[in-house]
Amino acid sequence: METKVEKIPANKHIALVAHDGKKDALKAWCLAHKNTLERHTLSATGTTGNVIEQATGLSVNKLLSGPMGGDQQLGAKIAEHQIHMLVFFWDPLASQPHDPDVKALLRLAAVWNIPVACNEATADMLLHSSLMSTEFSRALPDYDKYLATRLNT
């Protein structure tokens, strides 16, 4: 598939997600980085968003809870180029009833080439990157060209 280049703006829209066993870790991470996060737009699955908002006072656009469709809502926002970065503290030691939704969310982040952090160390590296406060380019699949070839066959 051909690709095209699109800019990720300096003001990022960051999606925040955490499984139940990792909500405290994400809350602590958000508290530690509150000054940086408040300069960006935040969205989260419902329960995670409530935990972060109550603990930090940050403004969070809260979607449905993950198992109720919040992961899929975030995936749709990624596909619509509304989310620029995903911080998803998933619990590798716990079984999740909505595991297919989790995998779909991570797949969409890979398809649309957005930065993803699945643990504190990676989230720290992303947040401290010089690219967090600047616009930068990313390669994306050119689905407009792909669809045009599909319609002409």
Q: Which of 20, 24, 71, 101 is catalytic?
A: 71
Task: Kindly state whether residue 2 falls inside one of the protein's structural domains.
Answer: no
Task: Kindly state whether residue 4 falls inside one of the protein's structural domains.
Answer: no
Task: Kindly state whether residue 78 falls inside one of the protein's structural domains.
Answer: yes
Give the total number of structural domains in the chain: 1
Q: Which amino acid is at 69?
A: G
Its pTM stands at 0.92
Catalytic, 71? Answer yes
Task: Kindly state whether residue 145 falls inside one of the protein's structural domains.
Answer: no
Instruction: For the beta carbon of residue 9, count every other beta carbon within 10 angstroms.
Output: 12
Structural domain span for residue 86: 12-132
153 residues of the chain, pLDDT tens digit each? 889 999 999 999 999 999 999 999 999 999 999 999 999 999 999 999 999 999 999 999 999 998 889 999 999 999 999 999 999 998 877 777 667 878 899 999 999 999 999 999 999 999 999 999 999 999 998 888 878 888 765
| Domain CATH for 121 | 3.40.50.1380
Task: Kindly state whether residue 46 falls inside one of the protein's structural domains.
Answer: yes
The SS3 of residue 144 is helix
Task: Kindly state whether residue 74 falls inside one of the protein's structural domains.
Answer: yes
- The answer to whether 65 is a known ligand-binding residue is yes
